[in-house]
């Protein structure tokens, strides 16, 4: 058991680009025999001395160790061991952290998206309570219990054997089935068949909790993929980084992602750096045609067609940099910073409550300094979209015209404050386009304190945007359609 776990850990280290030789693996096995696994910290320090050589490798080793040994893999699966594993997992892992996912947060969404809501979930519906084991776990169980069940299901389906990213859906389904999805689905169908209001309400709660669980299992499988997958080649790694949720990226991936963003930006620059003319074939430009054919005595040898100039867009980008979406905002700001040469009219703003412009900061600072200062100055407040919209109206509305595209990145969770959707409507009326990029899945846009339903009515376009692939597509389409 110990040797198998250590072999899996060495595989994870190699995936994290640590060069671990077979001889070092044998040394690590002898080290583990000597120090044991009772003291987690002692084990970490001992293996680190054997397997990590340089400063960068030690940092990568520490992060990989914390990710890999989130549950106590060496102890028997007893109730006591399970509680210890859950405690350790809660302290070291965010696989099940609802702040990063679609579930409403404790401070921003009331109930915890179908789990952690306590016994009151069942009691609210005239004494009805779920009968399936998974349903009870989702509505009445604790977060620690759900974490243990998910990790146990992952071990049973051998999620550590995931090889390619396209297997994410397969392993997600396997884990859900192992946790009892079929029994839950049957219960939901039976409740819906009754038709009475209490049964319909319970069915609705179970469906919502099921959808939230599926998102969390997907995130869990993504993280397991990055921990265990044997990636071959830098190109494949880049394609994977484009597709993975930005909230699931680890610090060790940030450098790769930054290089990838710069590469994507250069590609877009090469495509869109020159102003182009879009010809309207079929619409003859009579004036230019007559002028160019005077040398031919009026014979039309050289036809000229009408054309419209495609110019660089005028953009205002507003980023929510509060804790729940800070990773997404970081990479969108990074993208805008990298595209400065083809977006000279772009203005960037950041907020968690008060709105502040960071355009000059980006012009005068290095990328890392600009990002860190933006997060430090604007990322510590309580999220207040109403305040942000009012600040925009007071200080920026006069600069909005029919050539302006406004991009808003945020989860639209407003802590039950005044949404001020009427200000967004004014922005909609004055601008060319208002585009809202929401990192949460659409199923969460109306859950808890989310105001997305109100805001979507005042947007030209709303998109789920939580990966580099989404960001690249949005920016590319923006440049293509700008005029």
Where do the structural domains in the chain lie, given as residue ranges? Answer: 2-231, 255-272+312-481, 278-310
SS3 462: strand
Pairing of β 355-357 and β 347-351: antiparallel
CATH domain 255-272+312-481 topology: Rossmann fold (3.40.50)
Q: Which residues contact 73 (CB under 8 A, 6 or more apart)?
A: 1, 5
Per-residue model confidence (pLDDT) at position 88: 35
DSSP secondary structure of 2-60: HHHHHHHHHHHHHHTT----HHHHHHHHHHHHHH-SSSHHHHHHHHHHHH--SHHHHHH
Per-residue model confidence (pLDDT) at position 423: 94
Q: What is the pLDDT of residues 150-201, one digit of tens each?
A: 888 988 898 877 877 788 889 999 999 999 999 999 999 998 888 788 888 8
Q: How many whole angstroms separate alpha carbon 426 and alpha carbon 459?
A: 11
Per-residue model confidence (pLDDT) at position 166: 80
At 330, give phi and psi (nearest 5°): -55, -45
Per-residue model confidence (pLDDT) at position 252: 67
Half-sphere exposure of 255 (CA within 13 A, CB side): 5
- Tokens for 452, please give them: 């997305």
Dihedral of alpha carbons 101, 106, 109, 110, sign: positive
Q: What is the pLDDT of residues 67-94, one digit of tens each?
A: 777 644 333 333 333 333 333 333 334 4
Instruction: Give how far Cα 94 sits from Cα of 38, 43, 49, 66, 455, Å.
Output: 23, 22, 26, 11, 30
User: Are the CB atoms for 313 and 281 separated by under 8 Å?
Assistant: no
User: Are the CB atoms for 483 and 139 separated by under 8 Å?
Assistant: no
Per-residue model confidence (pLDDT) at position 393: 94
Max CA separation in the chain (angstroms): 99
Nearest to 57 by CA among 99, 19, 111: 19
Half-sphere exposure of 113 (CA within 13 A, CB side): 30
Q: Which residue's structure tokens are 């923006």?
A: 478
Q: How many whole angstroms separate alpha carbon 461 and alpha carbon 325?
A: 20
Per-residue model confidence (pLDDT) at position 74: 35
DSSP secondary structure of 362-395: HHHS-HHHHHHHHHHHHSSSPP-HHHHHHHHHHH
Residue 136 CB: number of other CB atoms within 10 A? 16
Long-range pairs for 39-47 at CB < 8 Å and ≥24 separation?
Answer: 40/69, 40/72, 40/88, 44/69
Q: How many whole angstroms separate alpha carbon 387 and alpha carbon 114?
A: 29
SS3 267: helix
User: Are the CB atoms for 143 and 116 separated by under 8 Å?
Assistant: yes
Q: Strand locations in 323-446, DSSP E?
A: 347-351, 355-357, 404-409, 433-438
Task: Find the radius of gyration of the CA atoms of the chain.
Answer: 27
Per-residue model confidence (pLDDT) at position 267: 67
Residue 483 CB: number of other CB atoms within 10 A? 12
Per-residue model confidence (pLDDT) at position 466: 80
Per-residue model confidence (pLDDT) at position 480: 65
User: Are the CB atoms for 132 and 205 separated by under 8 Å?
Assistant: no
- Which of the residues in the chain have pLDDT under 70? 1-3, 17, 70-127, 228-238, 247, 250-254, 265-282, 298, 307-313, 336, 338-344, 380, 478-483
The backbone region for 433, taken as left when phi is positive above 0, alpha when psi lies in -120 to 50, beta otherwise, is: beta
User: Are the CB atoms for 310 and 483 separated by under 8 Å?
Assistant: yes
Per-residue model confidence (pLDDT) at position 9: 82
């Amino acid at each position: 058991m110990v040797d198998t776990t250590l072999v899996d850990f060495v595989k994870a280290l190699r995936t994290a680009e640590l060069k671990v030789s077979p001889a070092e693996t044998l040394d690590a096995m002898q080290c583990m025999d000597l120090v044991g696994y009772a003291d987690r910290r002692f084990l970490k320090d001992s293996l680190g001395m054997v397997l990590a050589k340089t400063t960068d490798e030690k940092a990568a080793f520490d992060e990989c160790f914390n990710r890999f040994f989130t549950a106590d893999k060496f102890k028997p699966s007893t109730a006591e061991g399970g509680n210890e594993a859950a405690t350790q997992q809660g302290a070291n892992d965010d696989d099940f952290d609802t702040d990063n996912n679609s579930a409403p947060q404790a401070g921003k969404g009331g109930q915890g998206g179908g789990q952690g809501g306590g016994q009151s979930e069942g009691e609210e519906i005239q004494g009805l309570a779920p009968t399936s084991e998974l349903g009870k776990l989702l509505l009445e169980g604790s977060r620690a219990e759900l974490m243990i069940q998910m990790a146990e299901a992952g071990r049973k389906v051998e999620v550590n054997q995931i090889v390619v990213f396209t297997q994410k859906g397969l392993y997600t389904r396997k884990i859900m089935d192992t946790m009892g999805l079929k029994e839950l689905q049957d219960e939901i169908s039976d409740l819906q068949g009754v038709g009475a209001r209490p049964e319909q309400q319970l069915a609705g709660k179970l469906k919502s909790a099921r959808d939230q669980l599926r998102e969390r299992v997907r995130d869990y499988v993504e993280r397991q993929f990055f921990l265990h997958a044997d990636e071959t080649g830098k190109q494949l790694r880049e394609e994977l980084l484009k597709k993975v949720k930005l909230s699931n990226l680890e610090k060790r991936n940030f450098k790769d992602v930054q290089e990838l963003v710069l590469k994507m930006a250069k590609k877009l620059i090469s495509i869109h750096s020159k102003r182009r003319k879009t010809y309207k074939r079929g619409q003859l430009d009579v004036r230019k045609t007559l002028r160019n054919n005077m040398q031919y005595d009026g014979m039309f040898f050289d036809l000229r067609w009408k054309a419209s100039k495609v110019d660089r867009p005028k953009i205002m980008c507003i980023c929510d940099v509060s804790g729940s979406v800070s990773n997404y905002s970081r990479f969108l700001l990074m993208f805008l910073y990298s595209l400065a040469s083809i977006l000279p009219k772009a203005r960037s703003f950041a907020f968690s409550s008060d709105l502040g412009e960071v355009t000059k900061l980006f012009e005068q600072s290095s990328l890392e300094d600009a990002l860190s200062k933006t997060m430090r100055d604007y990322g510590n407040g309580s999220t207040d979209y109403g305040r942000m919209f009012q600040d925009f109206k007071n200080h920026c509305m006069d600069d909005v015209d029919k050539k302006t595209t406004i991009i808003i990145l945020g989860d639209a969770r407003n802590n039950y404050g005044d949404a001020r959707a009427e200000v967004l409507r004014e922005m909609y009326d004055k601008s060319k386009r208002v585009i809202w990029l929401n990192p949460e899945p659409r199923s969460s846009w109306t859950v808890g304190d989310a105001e997305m339903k109100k805001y979507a009515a005042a947007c030209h376009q709303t998109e789920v945007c939580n990966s580099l692939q989404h960001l690249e597509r949005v920016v590319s389409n923006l440049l293509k359609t700008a005029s």
